[in-house]
Amino acid sequence: MKKTEIEFTLNGKKKKVEVKPSDLLINLIREELYLTGTKYACGIGECGACTVLLDGEPVLSCLTLAITVAGKEITTIEGLAQDEELHPLQRAFLEQGAVQCGFCTPGMILTATALLKEKPQATEEEIRDYMRGNLCRCTGYVQIIKAIKSCTTGGEN
């Protein structure tokens, strides 16, 4: 099948790439553009490890065709830090010990950025509900919830 050239914005930078209609966004990001922060795990929309932001909203890159993001803006975990300065959520995850093996972390943090944008004062219950599609097999979630809560307005813990 012939390739089509598409242009989209990845972490603030314009990218021009050639894709086949069947290419998945996750594979474009990881294997063509070498940003391996986005993780492949279940491949069927159950785990959230492949979460990226599409025009600011969390979506699953394992269920997104690369060709459909033409003209759109994609943010991956590599796009959150400003130069050497980590995003507050990245710092909070480190401080709270919310990272063990780290595999779920990129998806967790990207989903949490959208949560904080939508609900800056999110309660613990709201955080748990919003994060329910991002699975972690190490931490038991407690530190992850704490880290996110610490980034809400007026919520240290």
Q: Please state the closest distance from residue 100 (CB atom) to another protein, in A.
A: 21
Residues 56-75: x/- map of binding to another protein (CB under 8 A)? -xxxx-xxxx-xx-x-----
* Residue 102, token pair as written in the block: 């780290």
Using the CB atoms, write b or e for 61-86: b if 16+ within 10 Å. Answer: bbebebbebeeeebbbbbbbeeeeee
Taking the CA atoms of residue 24, residue 28, residue 31 and residue 34 in that order, the dihedral angle to the nearest 10 degrees is: -140
Which of 75, 134, 150, 152: binder of another protein (CB under 8 A)? 134
Which of 10, 24, 92, 98: binder of another protein (CB under 8 A)? 24
Q: In the beta sheet, which residues pair with residue 57? A: 54
Which residues here bind another protein, judged by CB under 8 A? 1, 4, 20-24, 27, 40, 42-45, 48, 51, 54, 57-60, 62-65, 67-68, 70, 111, 114-115, 129-130, 132-134
